[in-house]
Amino acid sequence: MRYPKLRELKEAVTSLLTPAYTTKYPGVEHVPFEKFRGKPVVDNENCVGCETCANVCPPHAITFTDDPVKKSRTIRRDYGKCIFCGQCQDHCITGKGVILSDKIFDMASFDRAQAVEFQEKELLICKNCGAVITTREHLQFIHRKIGPKAFSSVLNLNVLNEKLKLSEDKDVDVEIRDDLKRKDMFNILCPNCLRLVLVKYL
Ligand code: SF4
Ligand code: SF4
């Protein structure tokens, strides 16, 4: 019993003589250490709304809601739930969509709503079955990433056609009526509907 008491006494004296480990924040400005993982900061220009970060976020702080009618995806990031693990940054497909700040750490507030951020992204919807394909920016990102190989996908080709608007008519949309037909393979279709057309008319 004697030795442990002496050891504790030595610890107490050492602690009294060494400077405090904690900082005097908020009285004194706190400078976080290098590679500190603070608030995940989203760069909307480089975020394509692909869903990857939501799938890897351990506490489900990132969620997505798709509205096929409005063709819109709402991304909700709740930093009240965030554990600052950095998984969203590590798995971001563009590498620049979200980066943990090494300076922003003080996010305490009395209102939980202040810790929530939203983004809106345009969705691509299958013109036959109405299924959500992905966001337009996500598909464009894949285009840029894989270059001409992207055109091996009919969907990519069709999205490019839509963008080029080669027809002088303002509305180049062709409505899908009475089931899928061969011509519809050049429409914006989800992989399931596209497979149906291709298998039927091969
Ligand atoms: S840092 Fe971790 S917990 Fe926070 S949003 Fe990113 S993945 Fe989710
Ligand atoms: S993984 Fe990156 S690009 Fe995809 S939604 Fe998250 S932040 Fe945006």
59 lines ligand 1 (CB under 6 A): yes
- Assess whether 143 and 111 both reside in one domain: no
Same-domain status, 113 and 182: no
110 within domain boundaries: yes
Instruction: Kindly state whether residues 41 and 88 are assigned to the same domain.
Output: yes
Please indicate, yes or no, if residue 98 is contained in any of the structural domains.
yes
| Residue 136 shares a structural domain with residue 89 | no
What is the Å distance from ligand 2's center to 69 Cα?
23
Rounded Cα distance between 93 and 48, Å, is 9
**Same domain membership, residue 47 and residue 65:** yes
Query: Looking at the structure, do residues 108 and 168 belong to the same domain, yes or no?
Result: no
Choose one of 70, 98, 125: the last residue of a domain.
125
CA atoms within 13 A on the CB side of 177: 3
Model pLDDT, residue 118: 97
* Minimum CA distance residue for ligand 1 atom 2: 85
Range(s) of the domain holding residue 91: 35-125
Ligand 1 centroid from CA 14, angstroms: 38
- Asked if 39 contacts 79 with a C-beta cutoff of 8 angstroms, the reply is yes
Number of domains comprising the chain: 2
> Which of residues 94, 125, 156 is at a domain's end?
125
Does ligand 1 come within 6 angstroms of the Cβ of 85?
A: yes
Residue 159 lies in a domain: yes
Question: 101 and 144 share a domain?
Answer: no
- C-alpha–C-alpha distance, residues 200 and 181, integer Å: 9
Q: Is the CB of 86 under 6 A from ligand 1?
A: yes
Residues 45 and 111 in one domain: yes
pLDDT at position 37 is: 95
186 phi and psi, to 5 degrees?
-100, 25
Q: What is the pLDDT along the chain (202 residues), one digit of tens a residue?
A: 566 688 899 999 998 999 887 888 889 888 888 889 999 999 999 999 999 999 999 999 999 999 999 999 999 999 999 999 999 999 999 999 999 999 999 998 899 999 999 999 999 999 888 999 999 999 889 888 888 887 777 777 667 666 666 656 555 566 777 777 777 777 888 888 888 888 877 6
162 with 172: CB under 8 angstroms? Answer: yes
Same domain, 45 and 119: yes
pLDDT at residue 5 in the model:
83
Q: Are residues 40 and 120 in the same domain?
A: yes
Last residue of a domain, one of 95, 125, 155: 125
**Ligand 1 site, residue 61, Cβ cutoff 6 A:** yes
Which atom number of ligand 2 is nearest to the Cα of residue 49?
A: 5
Same domain, 118 and 131: no
- Residue among 51, 139, 36 at smallest CA distance from 88: 51
Model pTM? 0.80
**Are 84 and 113 within one domain?**
yes
The answer to whether the CB of 80 is under 6 A from ligand 1 is: no
User: Can you give the pLDDT at residue 153?
Assistant: 75
CA–centroid distance, 41 to ligand 1, in Å, is 11
pLDDT of residue 127: 87
